[in-house]
Amino acid sequence: MQQPIMISPSILAADFLNLGRDIDAVSNADYIHVDVMDGHFVPNLSYGTTIVEAAKRATRIPLDVHMMVSNPDETVDWYVDAGADLISVHVEAARDLPAIVTHLHERGVKAGVVINPATPVEVLEDVIELVDLVLVMSVNPGFGGQGFIEGTYDKVRALSAICSRREVGPIIEVDGGVSLSNARALAAAGAQMLVAGSAVFKSPDPASIVREMRELASLGLECKKA
């Protein structure tokens, strides 16, 4: 069965002086996306467990934590304890990705794997059956507000084909430069969850953007089925 389209607004673009207010403004979202950057794996430093804990207190929407860190093997438990519901780690950073995935499942958390724009989808062949989600970066990780990489569509199609061939169904998520202008095409290519930061939180009506993005992506999903 085809999974419905989900929207995961990224609080990296939220107002941290009013984080609870901004999260409440997207109460119609499916997940809240939390970008953890360590200033080492990526050239920027964002926030850590304190913000995850604050977001958990602010909402009942599950937290989608994207760990852009160089040592996920040693630190995933920090974010499980902080309240993450889904944790994604980079294939480029993990020393033992299957072990991380197994450990997260044992802790009762969904496990995802992330691939950077330069990383081919074929590296996922050995773990695709283990993970709950695959996050395809459509910008180079580390900074918000970047332009969308057009080659992402082909990458999502290739990933969707691998999933079909292997008869597995992890959620395919796309993060970076996602907006109303490309939501429909991404869903048509095979994306099932869209991360949007600036497009949502820089809008005067974030909830309406979440709703419209889901509607547009759902139209793309219908095109994929046809």
End-to-end CA distance of the chain: 14
Q: What is the C-alpha separation between 122 and 128, in angstroms, rounded?
A: 10
Q: What is the C-alpha separation between 226 and 33, in angstroms, rounded?
A: 30
Place of tokens 């939501």: 183
Nearest to 170 by CA among 204, 142, 193: 193
What backbone torsions phi and psi does residue 143 show, to the nearest 5 degrees? Answer: -140, 140
Side-chain half-sphere CA neighbours of 175 within 13 A? 35
**Which residue type is seen at 130?**
L
Widest distance between CA atoms in the chain: 46
DSSP 184-225: HHHHHHT--EEEESHHHHTSS-HHHHHHHHHHHHHHHHHHHH
Q: Which residues are catalytic?
A: 35, 175
Tell me the two tokens of residue 109: 């958390």
